[in-house]
């Protein structure tokens, strides 16, 4: 239909143009050529215009078809690319099925060295088998508040250099000593790593009280498990004053210029047994729910209950 409309427009414009040419011809050159001959020339020109318009229309349709088929070709290429993965492998196996949707800030451990054999899906899209030594790892939160591995900093024997590995791209992991397949990567790392990471120098010497002006740390925090203790914490977030009653299971901290700065407090709420992360800088007060006594320094209280 668009081609037909184009042909009609070309014919109308051509008729008008040739009419002007004919008038000019008769006014200047005269009767050197009869009107019948000129009409014949005009007819031949029109007949030649029609196939030209049809060719242009067919060429444009062919280009559109090639353009529309390009995404499907890309999809087929992507499908072939994906088929390189083993049948049982899947992204997010060790991150609770979550890929690219993990929240940072659930802690981690450093100053460790854990040998690991992994099948890793890198940027090329082809899995590679690697022997690595995990030097540190950070934990993240899934949208359902499950704590899973996030990033692994490790020495890669394949590249002979230190590399950062995304846990959601680890397809398989094995214990290099026993050859056993690892089902829960976070549990494996926690069991292999020391219970507490090496405490940085000056850690615990001077613990900062909650400071609302304190910015989020620019480096990875250290996760410290503590002996489960009940606590009632009053804090203030964007929704206003809030209260959380539950069991503290761990907290994260950094050492900044010889001062220990608590970052997050991980509390399992009493009413629904779900984990909640409270920013230490938002805490306004803390109370021991059993005795009703106020906890004067929550940071020191957390530090004294840490598992050594």
Which range has the worst mean pLDDT, 97-101, 153-157, 161-165, 185-189?
97-101
Instruction: Using pLDDT thresholds of 50, 70 and 90, give the confidence band for residue 47.
Output: low
Q: Which two tokens stand for residue 82?
A: 């994906």
Question: Are 108 and 220 contacting, i.e. CB atoms less than 8 angstroms apart?
Answer: yes
Burial 53-90, CB ≥16 within 10 A → b, else e: beeeeeeeeeeeeeeeeeeeeeeeeeeeeeeebeeeee
Alpha carbons 225 and 45: distance in angstroms, whole number: 90
Ramachandran angles phi, psi of 57, nearest 5°: -65, -45
Largest CA distance in the chain: 121
> What confidence score (pLDDT) does residue 282 get?
93
Q: Which two tokens stand for residue 90?
A: 């899947």
- Tell me which residue of 129, 126, 185 sits closest to 157, measured CA to CA: 129
Distances from the Cα of 256 to the Cα of 74, 139, 206, 252, 262, angstroms: 50, 21, 10, 13, 10
- Pairing relationship of beta strands 147-156 and 161-166 according to DSSP bridges: antiparallel
* Residue 140 in this model has a pLDDT that exceeds 90: no
Displacement of CA 289 from its chain's centroid (Å): 40
pLDDT tens digits for range 48-82: 666 666 666 665 555 554 444 443 333 333 333 33
> What confidence score (pLDDT) does residue 256 get?
82
Proportion of the chain above pLDDT 90, given as a percent: 24
DSSP-derived secondary structure for 216-266: PPSS--EEEEEEEEEEEEEEEETTEEEEEEEEEEEEEEEEETTEEEEEEEE
pLDDT tens digits for range 170-216: 999 999 989 999 999 988 988 887 644 556 677 778 888 888 888 87
Q: Which range is most confident: 78-82, 106-110, 150-154?
A: 150-154
């Amino acid at each position: 239909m668009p081609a037909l409309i184009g042909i009609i427009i070309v014919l109308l414009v051509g008729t008008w143009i040739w009419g002007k040419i004919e008038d000019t011809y008769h006014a200047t050159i005269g009767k050197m050529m009869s009107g019948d001959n000129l009409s014949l020339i005009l007819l031949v020109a029109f007949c030649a215009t029609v196939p030209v318009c049809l060719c242009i229309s067919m060429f444009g349709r062919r280009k559109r078809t090639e353009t529309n088929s390009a995404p499907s070709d890309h999809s087929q290429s992507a499908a072939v690319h994906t088929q390189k993965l083993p049948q049982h492998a899947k992204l997010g196996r060790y991150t609770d099925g979550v890929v690219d949707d993990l929240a940072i800030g659930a802690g981690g451990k450093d100053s460790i060295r854990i040998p690991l054999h992994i099948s890793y899906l890198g940027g090329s899209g082809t899995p590679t088998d690697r022997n690595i030594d995990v030097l540190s790892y950070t934990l993240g939160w899934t949208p359902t508040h499950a704590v899973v591995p996030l990033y692994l900093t490790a020495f890669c024997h394949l590249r002979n250099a230190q590399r950062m590995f995304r846990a959601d791209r680890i397809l398989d992991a094995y214990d290099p000593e026993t050859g056993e397949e690892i089902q829960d990567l976070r549990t494996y790392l926690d069991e292999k790593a020391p219970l507490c990471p090496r405490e940085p120098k000056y850690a615990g010497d001077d613990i900062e009280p909650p400071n609302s002006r304190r910015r989020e740390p620019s480096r990875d925090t250290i996760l410290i498990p503590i002996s489960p203790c009940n606590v009632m914490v009053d804090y203030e977030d964007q929704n206003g004053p809030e209260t959380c009653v539950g069991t503290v299971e761990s907290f994260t901290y950094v050492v900044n210029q010889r001062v220990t700065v608590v970052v997050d407090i991980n509390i399992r709420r009493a009413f629904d047994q779900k984990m909640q992360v409270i920013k230490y800088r938002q805490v306004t007060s803390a109370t021991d729910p059993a005795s009703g006594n106020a906890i004067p320094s929550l940071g020191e209280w957390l530090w004294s209950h840490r598992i050594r």
